[in-house]
Structure 1
């Protein structure tokens, strides 16, 4: 009797709310101030995520616990490796630590992938990817995914950079465009660089330039990521040309910049004196939260530090159990419906509707 062949069991790296130690296996220079950090899963496990999602790194830096979100630049079609691509931000505690300290062989505690900025299912026939600076990373994951899947989608990829040396993934994207008939890549630079005179489109993205580069943009699904002013400009451009914004998607939180910081004692935005009681049961602390304040902002203003990262309801880092009370929560995909039914909230985007008791 022939021996029965059994397929190996696939074990996913993360369960829903878990944090896992990942080993860095490579650090790659992408530009003069951007590096990619490649991680391997624990033995016998694989990664699973959606293209465009992010990881939350949980780090100890100078004795402080800091969590930051970074989009995944690798595609889910390559489940044995996962990478983030990080720009060094002046004064950014995490990006500078990663650039200066993280090396192959070191381990980092990482929370499960999250975020709703991802390709729709089924795939659309035409996309427009708009990025600036390190905002290219989630769109790179999407592009690599489409290539690996052999998708026949028509992709117009327009990336904005300061100078030619700041173009992220320049060679790889050029190679993809040369090999894939349906993918067209255009880089737009604001200026030349001493090492290279830029001969492509110059300046900032504008209505006229985008219309010239992508004349059929109204037929496309748009994904954009980049600094907040860039995305505001993109939204204005698309509004000016009458684009259907139901076909528009953006990644909206900034990386390596804390969204909220504690207010000084004499600041006008200090602890609320009128509002609802918020009790952190396990800590034995109670604060007052105004009806128009998020629980996170009220806690920070009162000098109470809570775990948080994106500050906009996307990453799930600030997820806690609500023991009593009700909140108005406007999240951006950082919490699942089942978790809400189980009494979980995100403190960064939850405003009290009455007194609260929270399970921390």
Structure 2
């Protein structure tokens, strides 16, 4: 007796998410990771697959108190789960964006994003052995890399050393234990400043130094190192690796510093001039329409550096062309811009530039 006739029903395959075409992401879940860290799971507004390299970041474009604010966050999820992506954010005392995200972003809300972007990715530096070093919320890109290895069934030789204030501050602590249990080649080590409420904490306390690193990873000199964390942490890591004779060509780091730097940093010597005028043989005249100021920008100098040297307080954050905070409309003139993903192509086509990564090729008029 013949069975029922069945037909294969074709399933629609989602297209790739493209922020240039639709930059809206929907928050579908919020997870409390530690007392001051949350993960926000995001998905495209319309079904779409998110493609990125483990370790890359997205730039959020948020409306806070009537002002557009841009911030970069590394993706903590792996690209092996392409229907969503997640960012993991630590609440920073006084931090405008991190506090807004913790207090306001909830499931069902939407936000705008650029990217993914960035070159901090182990896939770009294949190696037989890796050493992941993270401090605090700097764990996120390294977690994306680790989750990717696990999901792909690649039992890589990875030593993952994470530093935190106390055991209770270790982000993804349980999941890291699971990754280590499932992969013989994946080893974790935690270094906490203090025990906190865990009196029986048996792992090292204090700070990571060269003798401790040698105990955790005696073969660290043979590994490709990826490091992410607060600036003082990464400076300490660079120092201890240099002390240990490590080949720094195999060292890679990622960091974002979004303190309010307006007016706090001066351009380098010769970066620009506070003098006003119609022209100068040593540089280009840059006119800012809203402030009514004009400055001289020396050849090869970034516009942001020249403006700061002249005492102008332009909004900025990363100073690397990644966050988009300094985005401005170029009314006239030409620039060379080498951005890091903080501006959309359609915005460039509309005449916008990022002064932090743009150098003038002619006299300029900027709407700022």
Report the TM range for the smaller structure's normalisation.
0.7 to 0.9
Q: 1:257 pairs with 256, 259, 264, which one?
A: 259
Q: Which residue of 1 aligns with 2:318?
A: 310
Q: Which residue of 2 aligns with 1:37?
A: 40
Give aligned pairs, total.
349
Moved more, 55-64 or 283-292: 283-292
Q: 1:116 pairs with 96, 107, 119, which one?
A: 119
Q: 1:355 pairs with 352, 363, 367, which one?
A: 363
- Alpha-carbon spacing, 1:228–1:358, altered in 2? closer, same or farther (3 Å): same
Q: Which residue of 1 aligns with 2:101?
A: 98
Task: Write the mapping of 1:285-324 to structure 2, written as runs, cut at 5 A.
Answer: 287-291=294-298, 294-299=302-307, 305=314, 308-315=316-323, 318=326, 324=333
1:253, distance to aligned residue in structure 2 (A): 2.0
Structure 1 gaps of 5+ residues are none
1:117, distance to aligned residue in structure 2 (A): 0.8
Does residue 1:272 correspond to 2:274, yes or no? yes
Q: 1:46 pairs with 39, 45, 49, which one?
A: 49
- Alpha-carbon spacing, 1:271–1:102, altered in 2? closer, same or farther (3 Å): farther
Q: TM-score, normalised by structure 1?
A: 0.84
Larger radius of gyration: 2
SS in 2 for 1:120: helix
Cα distance in structure 2, aligned partners of 1:223 and 1:113:
19
SS in 2 for 1:186: strand
Post-superposition Cα deviations, 1:94-113, rounded to whole Å, max 9, x if no partner, equal: 00011111111111111221
Task: Write the mapping of 1:183-198 to structure 2, written as runs, cut at 5 A.
Answer: 183-198=186-201
Post-superposition Cα deviations, 1:8-65, rounded to whole Å, max 9, x if no partner, equal: 44412114x4561211111111111100001121223121111111111111111221
1:318, distance to aligned residue in structure 2 (A): 4.9
Post-superposition Cα deviations, 1:228-278, rounded to whole Å, max 9, x if no partner, equal: 011011111111111111111100322x534x31579xxxx9982266322
1:293, distance to aligned residue in structure 2 (A): 5.8
CA contact (8 A) 1:272 1:290 kept: no
Q: 1:11 pairs with 11, 15, 23, which one?
A: 15
Q: TM-score, normalised by structure 2?
A: 0.82
CA contact (8 A) 1:19 1:110 kept: no
Q: CA RMSD in A?
A: 3.5
